[in-house]
Amino acid sequence: MTDHRAARSADRTEAIMRATLDLALEAGYAKLSIEAVATRAGVGKHTIYRRWPSKGMLFLDAVLSMNTEDLVHRDTGDIVADTREVMIKATELLTGPPWAPLYRALLGEAQHDPKVAAGHKERFIQRQSDDFLRRLQTAQEQGQIASDFDLELAMDLLSGALYYRFLCTQEPITRDYIDRVLNAAFTGMAPRP
Amino acid sequence: MTDHRAARSADRTEAIMRATLDLALEAGYAKLSIEAVATRAGVGKHTIYRRWPSKGMLFLDAVLSMNTEDLVHRDTGDIVADTREVMIKATELLTGPPWAPLYRALLGEAQHDPKVAAGHKERFIQRQSDDFLRRLQTAQEQGQIASDFDLELAMDLLSGALYYRFLCTQEPITRDYIDRVLNAAFTGMAPRP
DNA sequence: CCGGCACGGCACGGGCCGTGCCGATCTAAC
DNA sequence: GTTAGATCGGCACGGCCCGTGCCGTGCCGG
């Protein structure tokens, strides 16, 4: 049966990604080596090189195999509340254990490897942005966002503040901070008469 | 004379950092090795290890040895124009040749090495933020920014959008984009009656 | 029964790590 | 002037990991 062959192959792939995440959590991404992954997964190095072209792409697949189905914007009619909900969930997921060091290492690797950067953008950022943009459009049509406001820029402002904290200042992102970001982005810096 | 000793030492330090930048520009940070730097600088490996604890910290010093004196906010009385000027200068400096790949690699390394992250934050981010915050306070006192607006958040919104583009989506940051960011941050997303 | 295919295991040359040791050079103290 | 100390470049080492061959095995499809 071909099913058996495919199933065996999928099992191996999953075992390799599992071993990758385990080792990365134990010793850090810097210490991660193909040899160690192969040994941990009970697999020959060829079996890894046959599936992934580099350590970065393997790590990308491993990290993105996590469940992100619940990072979807609901539509309760309140754009601020719905956005806040997803921002909190995303922050807790990506900057809390166990994913914080993994996601941080992934973004770090993306700065060194363009293929990892492209994969992350296409398979994670893009996916979240599309969903977010759809929700923003609905809100704009309902008059909850200024009709001439650039929605792509809204995403950059909101996401940017969180990523800036995560990647540059590396300070904790609290719920209070998220509230302040939302409030600031909606009210704007300009003085109100 | 002690001057001679200190001068020789400083010369070596500078030669090592120079060789580091040269090699990083030629072959990329990933290919950078202490051995190659030592050979290029005409120096023993010990001389490098005596000065820096890791490749990351050497690279941090090398990159930060660039001139950033001109990234200072002027005060012409127009906060938008002054901010725009620095945002453009900073973007051209950090995302254009020859510093783009170097600064990108530095941020990538900062995700793997906490000491590099701390050094970058303390010696670059903090320096820029302090200057920016001072200029924002003046503007707020003059009524160009809403009196109750969180100025730290203003920096996160403006800087965040640029860093998000640079590190996550890796799309070009044009002057038009900077203008749109400024405009969006000042007007806010909320509908205006 | 046999052909092919993916596999685990092993070994290889090569590169770089971080660390010792050596001899040369220069400084500072006596 | 001589000597003790510090710093240097050069060299070599064991160790780790890279990416790639090769071999023998077991499982599937024909």
Interface probe for B, chosen from A104, A158, A189 (most Cβ of B below 10 Å), is A189
What is the distance of C-alpha B47 from the center of its chain?
A: 27
Would you say the pTM of this structure is higher than 0.85? yes
At a CB cut-off of 8 Å and minimum separation 6, what does A78 contact? Answer: A144
Q: Is the peptide bond before A53 cis (omega within 30 degrees of 0)?
A: no
Q: Identify the burial level of B62 via C-beta atoms within 10 angstroms of its C-beta, where 0-12 means exposed, 13-18 middle and 19 or more buried.
A: buried
- Asked whether residue B185's C-beta has any atom of DNA/RNA strand D within 7 A, the reply is no
pLDDT (tens digit per residue) in B68-100: 778 999 999 999 999 999 999 999 999 999 999
What is the distance of C-alpha A88 from the center of its chain?
A: 13
Share of chain A above pLDDT 90, in %: 90
* The pLDDT of residue B70: 83
CA A2 to C1' C1, whole Å: 20
Check pLDDT > 80 for residue B193: no
- Token digits for A100? 């914080």
CB A30 within 8 A of CB B55: no
Check A164 against B186: CB less than 8 A apart.
no
- Asked whether residue B46's C-beta has any atom of DNA/RNA strand D within 7 A, the reply is yes
Task: Find the residue closest to C9 using CA and C1' atoms.
Answer: A44
* The pLDDT of residue A168: 98
Q: Identify the burial level of B3 via C-beta atoms within 10 angstroms of its C-beta, where 0-12 means exposed, 13-18 middle and 19 or more buried.
A: exposed
* The pLDDT of residue B92: 95
* The pLDDT of residue A4: 67
- Token digits for A44? 């020959």
Check A29 against B153: CB less than 8 A apart.
no
CB A12 within 8 A of CB A35: no
pLDDT (mean) for B117-128: 97
Bases in strand C with any atom closer than 7 Å to a protein CB = 6-11, 15-21, 26-28
pLDDT (mean) for A117-140: 97
Chain B residue with minimum CA distance to A188:
B188
Higher pLDDT, A90 or A68: A90
CB B185 within 8 A of CB B83: no
User: Nearest 5 degrees, angle CA A82-CA A87-CA A90?
Assistant: 125
- Token digits for A109? 């690797």
Check B159 against A154: CB less than 8 A apart.
no
At a CB cut-off of 8 Å and minimum separation 6, what does B169 contact? Answer: A121, A125
CB B16 within 8 A of CB B43: yes
Chain B residue with minimum CA distance to A157:
B161
Number of Cβ pairs < 8 A linking chain A and chain B: 160
Check B184 against A143: CB less than 8 A apart.
no
CB A34 within 8 A of CB A19: no
Maximal C-alpha separation, chain A: 75
* The pLDDT of residue B4: 66
- Asked whether residue B45's C-beta has any atom of DNA/RNA strand D within 7 A, the reply is yes
At a CB cut-off of 8 Å and minimum separation 6, what does B90 contact? Answer: B71, B128, B162
Check A108 against B105: CB less than 8 A apart.
no
- Asked whether residue B9's C-beta has any atom of DNA/RNA strand D within 7 A, the reply is yes
User: Nearest 5 degrees, angle CA A79-CA A81-CA A87?
Assistant: 100
Quote the CA–CA distance of B90 and A182 in Å, as a whole number: 26
* The pLDDT of residue B2: 58
- Token digits for B175? 């002057």
Q: What are phi and psi of A148, to 5 degrees?
A: -100, 10
At a CB cut-off of 8 Å and minimum separation 6, what does A99 contact? Answer: A63, A66, A93
Check A108 against B104: CB less than 8 A apart.
no
Quote the CA–CA distance of B183 and A105 in Å, as a whole number: 33
Q: Alpha helix locations (H) across B65-174?
A: 79-95, 99-112, 114-120, 126-141, 151-164
pLDDT (tens digit per residue) in A3-30: 666 777 888 999 999 999 999 999 999 9
- Asked whether residue B43's C-beta has any atom of DNA/RNA strand D within 7 A, the reply is yes
Quote the CA–CA distance of A182 and A188 in Å, as a whole number: 10
pLDDT (mean) for A104-124: 98
- Rounded to 10°, the helix B55-64/B34-41 angle is 50
**Residue B3: which H helix or E strand, with range?**
helix B2-27
* The pLDDT of residue A2: 60
